[in-house]
Structure 1
Amino acid sequence: MLNDIIKIIIKEYSNLSNETIDEWKENIRVLELKKGTQLVQEEQFTNKLYFIYKGSAKAYHLKEGKLITDWFAFDSQFICAITGYFLKEPSEHCIELTENSIILEFEREKLTELSNKHHDFERFSRKIITRIMLQLQQRVVYLQFSTAKERYQFLLKEYPKIELHIPLGDIASYIGITQETLSRIRAKR
């Protein structure tokens, strides 16, 4: 199964030499986890990057007891607690699986070692990080410059089956509206 997953990742991001792949495989954990599993908890130190092979996850903040969702990852996407992963600080995010999932878990130190040793892995890592940054930037732009209806339509365009995987409350939080407003928008569709 791991070889099939690696082929999917490589096809999506960048080619890697067989030597690089063999070393990378030594440092990958494949996990089959249940819906609701917390990959990262708030204030936890984390050095993990996750690839969702099958399933989905959400990243969120807890503010005054309220859950504010700001990132989803679905099949063939990466997710991490950004401040914990890149700054080595306690995480501001929680990451939770939103359905039963098969994920790959990578440690930052091992990925850094591979990047330092193999130029192709460094390029590969850079492409992953770039895609994550662009995805998050795109979200910021549509939150700032779009109406609630436009945000919802954009989300459906990006993730046509999101409502099959993610509760409406999380979708509403992600696009910065109340669940009641989302219900009104959906009723007019």
Structure 2
Amino acid sequence: MLEILLEEPSAELLIQTLAPVIVPGVQEGKDFETRVFQGKDALLRKLPQRLAGYGSWAEMGNVRILVLVDRDDDNCMELKKRMVEIVQKIKGLHYHSGVKSGVGGSVKISIACEEIEAWMIGDPDALRLAYPKLPKAFERKAAFRNPDDIKGGTWEKLEKLLQDNGYFAGGLRKRELARMVGGFMDPDRNSSESFGHFCRALRSLM
């Protein structure tokens, strides 16, 4: 069983939808479980204790953990280094950096740059299928060309794009967005590099 640790409910909805697409045949509850924290700060604060719990019985089972957080305003390399150091301090666990998953106790870190909404922007066809009034070529504009490097807040830019085209007049509802767009996303056409890293991490642990 793979445990996927997430920082918010919208990420959970997206991953629950996408995991069986990224790794065909896997099922929630049978092959993976999602665990949601109350935001990034709560996840990072509770991560040592949570991992210690996994480590205490890692030798008795095939423990695999994938931790997903948004980069937000953090330096990506420094954030990952800090999280890997947490893993390395836990008895029974090891940070897995190879192509294939090792024996029990494997942990991987995945960071969405800058926020998980970048993964949706990386698949403009999925966004248009979910919200047909979006322009045909919005992704060619400089503001959206590199979804992992959008300035000024990824979800705010996506919210404005959707509002400008007649959606979410009362504000972006992130869980609804994840549910609507996730069902149309194709991992093989996504232009977000951080999403590609997540897909490879998930496949290697599965």
- Pairwise TM-score range, normalised by the shorter structure: under 0.3
- The structure with the largest strand share of the pair is 1
Q: TM-score, normalised by structure 2?
A: 0.24
